[in-house]
Chains A and B, each alone.
Chain A
Amino acid sequence: MAVDAERSGTPGGFVRGPQSLVSGLVLIALAALALWLTRDLPQGTLRAMGPAMLPRWLAIAVGLCGIALVVAGLVRDGHQLEGYSLRGASVVVTAILLFGVAIRGFDFQAFKVPTLGLMIAGPLAIFVSGFATPEVRARELLILALSLTGLCMLLFGDLLNLPIPMYPQAFADLYPAGWSSDGRLRMTAAVFLGLAVLIYLAGRRTASREPIDVVPDEHAGTV
C-alpha cells in the first residue's frame, strides 16, 4: 500500500547492495553518536572500570560491523532498499503521542494540557491511528473507539485497579456527591458502551457489509 513514498536504492552504478550500504552507514552513525555522547566520561582502567569503557568498546564494535556492511554493499550484490509508508508511520506515531499527552496532562514550557485521562486519550488514540490505513471507515472506527475505551475503563480501572487517570477531575465532579469513585467509573464506561451501541444501531440500516479479502502472506519470514 506504500503509495506515499515508494523508493528504492540507486540502481546500477557501483553500489551493488544498497540495503547493506545504507544499513552500514546507519550503524556507523550510531557508533559515532555513542562515541560523541560518551566523550566526556572517564574510561578508567581494568581495575576500576570507568563508565565510558564498555559503551566505547561497544560503539567501536557497532562501527566495525557498519564498515563491514558498507564494504559488503559495495562489493557484493544484495537487496534493494525496501519502500516505506509515510502515512502509516506518521499517523501511528501521532496517535501514540496524543495518547501520551492526554493521559496525564502535559506541561512543557508554553505547551500545557490538563489531565484528560483515558476517557479522552483512549478514543483519541484509536480514532486517529485508524487513519493510518486508507481503508479507514470513520463510523466503524468511532464504534471501536467508544466501546474499547469503555471496556478498558472497566478492565484497567475497576477490575485491575491500576492507577491510570480515567477522566478529568472536573468531569468526576459532575456526578452527584453520593457516588463512589467505582460507581462514577462504571457509569462513565456504561455511557461509552451505550453510545457505541447507539451509533452501531443508527448506522446499521445504511451500512452494507463488505467481504474482507483474505490474501496469502507473501512476506512472512522474509524480514
Chain B
Amino acid sequence: MKAWVAALVGGMALFGTAAAEAQSYPNRPVRVIVPFAAGGTTDIFARLVADKLSQSLGQQFIIENRGGAGGNIGADAVAKAAPDGYTLVMGTVGTHAINASLYAKMPYDALTDFTPVAFTAGVPNLMVVNPKTVKATTVQAFIAEAKATPKKFNMASSGNGTSIHLSGEMFKQATGVEMPHVPYRGSGPAINDLVGGQVDVMFDNLPSSIEQAKAGNLRALAVTSSARSAALPDTPTLHESGLPDFEASSWFALFGPKGLPPEITTKLNEEVRKALQTPELKQRFADLGGEIRLMTPDELGAYVKAEHAKWAKAVKAAGARLE
C-alpha cells in the first residue's frame, strides 16, 4: 500500500509533464467522438466500426456522443484536440460538407483543420410519399400532380439544413415544384406524420424509411444517389427519373485533428478497411442501407473537397442559412 501512496504523490509532482512518447499506437484507449446523439445512424456506424477496431488494435475505442449545433460542437472538439491519434471524430456530410456553407459562424474549417482517416459508408436518401394523399407512382407524375395545384403538398424534413432538407430543396430547385417545408426534430416524428398523412413527401435517409416503404405505409418514388441502392433495387434514381445528375447522399467518415502522423493515419485507414470487409460488418451496413466504399486517406480528402463544393452550391440555391 505504501508503495502506491508514494506513486500517487509522485504522480501529483509529475503533473503537466508530457507523457512518454508511445512506441506503438495505440497504447491507451482512443476516443471516437460522435457529434450527434446516441442511436442515430452516425452513432450506429461509429459503434460498429469502433467495436471492430477495439478488437483488432487491442485498445478500447470509446464512443463519446457530443451532439449539438448540427454536429459542429463535437467536430470542433476534435479539430482542437492534440493530433496524437487518441481523439477521432465520425464526421458526416453535415459536419464536413454542408455546415461550412450553412452556418454563418463556423468554429473550424472542415478542409484544413482535419486529417482525413477513412471513409466508412454512404447512405442514399429516399424520396417517399404518403400513398393516400399522393396518387403519383413515378417522379414525373409527382411533378405533374404537384404543379397542377401549387403548394398542394407539404415536404417534411428532419431539421433545417440537414441533407434531407437540402435534397428536397435541390429537388424543388430542379423541378420548379412549390412545396412548403415542414421541419421536424429528427426523422422519427417526421415519418410518423408522413405515414399519418399530415405531410406528403420527404427525402428521408434510406434506413429510417425503407421498412415503411416495404410495408406499404409509404411509397418510394426514387433514390437520390447516382446509382440504385442494393437495398431497393427496383426503385429508380432521380437521375433516371428525368433529373439529370441529381446526387445527394449522406456519408460518414473518420477524421483526426490536422497534423495526424502519417503512420497513425495509415494504420487506422488499413484497420477500418479491414473491418469494413468482414462479412459481419458488410451485413450490418447493408441492413442499414449503407454502401461501404473503401478509400485511402488521400481519396477521402479529395472526396470531401468535392462534396464541400457541391453542397455549397445546393445551400446557396436553397437560400438556407443558419446564424
Say whether B31 contacts A163, CB under 8 Å.
yes
Encode B14-30 as 1/0 by CB contact (under 8 A) with A.
11111110000001110
In the complex, whether B1 has a CB less than 8 A from a CB of chain A is: yes
- Report yes or no: A174 in contact with B62, Cβ–Cβ below 8 A: no
Total residues of chain A contacting the partner, CB 8 A = 15
Asked whether B15 lies within 8 Å of A163 as measured between CB atoms, the reply is no
Cβ-neighbour of B8 out of A169, A177, A191 (below 8 A):
A191
Complex Cα–Cα for A214 and B274 (A):
66
Asked whether A163 and B16 contact (CB < 8 A) given A187-B4, A194-B1, the answer is: no
Interchain CB contact under 8 A, A173 and B1: no
Knowing A163-B31, A170-B19 touch, does A181 contact B4 (C-beta < 8 A)?
no
Q: How far apart are B290's CB and chain A's nearest CB, in angstroms?
A: 25
Within 8 Å of chain B (Cβ to Cβ): is A78? no
Q: How far is the CA of A174 from the CA of B4 in the complex (A)?
A: 11
**Residue among B7, B10, B11, B29 with most chain A CB within 10 A:** B11
Q: Contact partner of A170 among B17, B27, B29, CB < 8 A?
A: B17
| With A163-B62, A170-B19: A181-B5 Cβ-Cβ less than 8 Å | no
B64 within 8 A of A: yes
Contacts of B5 in A (CB 8 A): 191, 195
A171: CB under 8 A from chain B?
yes
Report yes or no: B14 in contact with A174, Cβ–Cβ below 8 A.
yes
- Asked if A30 CB lies within 8 Å of chain B CBs, one says no
Q: Is the CB of A170 within 8 A of B31?
A: no
In the assembled complex, A35 has its CB within 8 A of some CB on chain B = no
Kindly list chain A residues whose C-beta atoms are within 8 Å of the C-beta of B226. none
Within 8 A of A (CB), among B5-51: 5, 7-8, 10-11, 14-20, 27-29, 31
Does any Cβ of B come within 8 Å of A172's Cβ? Answer: yes
CB-defined contacts of A187 to chain B, threshold 8 Å: 4
Interfacial chain B residues near A88, Cβ < 8 Å? none
Interface size on B, residues (CB 8 A): 22
Given A172-B28, A187-B4: 18 more A-B contacts, CB < 8 Å? A114-B15, A114-B16, A163-B31, A170-B14, A170-B15, A171-B14, A171-B15, A173-B20, A174-B7, A174-B10, A174-B11, A177-B27, A181-B28, A181-B29, A181-B60, A191-B4, A191-B8, A194-B1
Residue of chain B at shortest CB distance from A188 = B8
The residues of B that contact A168 with a CB separation of less than 8 Å are: 15
Q: List A residues at the B interface (Cβ < 8 Å).
A: 114, 163, 168-174, 177, 181, 187, 191, 194-195
| Residues of B with C-beta under 8 A to A195 | 5
Chain A residues near B15 (CB-CB < 8 A): 114, 168, 170-171
Residues in A whose Cβ lies below 8 Å from that of B18: 170
Given contacts A114-B16, A195-B5, contact A163 B64 (CB under 8 A): yes
B182-232 CB contacts (< 8 Å) to partner A:
none
> Complex formed: what's the CA distance from A17 to B4 in Å?
62
Give the Cβ gap from B269 to chain A, nearest Cβ, in Å.
24
- Measured between beta carbons, the chain B residues less than 8 angstroms from A171 are 11, 14-15
- CB neighbours of A177 from chain B (8 A): 27
CA separation between A114 and B63, bound complex, in Å?
A: 21
- Can you name 28 A-B residue pairings with CB atoms under 8 Å? A114-B15, A163-B31, A163-B62, A163-B63, A163-B64, A168-B15, A169-B19, A170-B11, A170-B17, A170-B18, A170-B19, A171-B14, A172-B28, A173-B19, A173-B20, A174-B7, A174-B10, A174-B14, A177-B27, A181-B28, A181-B29, A181-B60, A191-B1, A191-B4, A191-B5, A191-B8, A194-B1, A194-B4
The 4 closest A-B pairs by CB, nearest first: A163-B64, A173-B19, A171-B11, A174-B11
Q: Which residue of A lies closest to B1 (CB)?
A: A194
- CB of B87 to closest CB in A, whole Å: 12
Contacts of B7 in A (CB 8 A): 174
Which residues of B are found within 8 Å of A170, using beta-carbon distances?
11, 14-19
Could you say which residues of chain B place their CB within 8 Å of the CB of A194? 1, 4
How many whole Å from A59's CB to the nearest CB in chain B? Answer: 20
Tell me the nearest residue of chain A to B8, going by C-beta.
A191
Best-surrounded residue of B8, B60, B62 (most CB of chain A within 10 A): B8
Q: How far, in angstroms, from A191 to B11 measured CA to CA in the complex? A: 13
Chain B residues closer than 8 Å to A174, beta-carbon distance = 7, 10-11, 14
A170 to B17, CA, bound (A): 7
A-chain residues with CB within 8 Å of residue B11 when the two chains form the complex: 170-171, 174
Smallest Cβ-Cβ distance to A191: which chain B residue:
B4
A195 to B1, CA, bound (A): 9
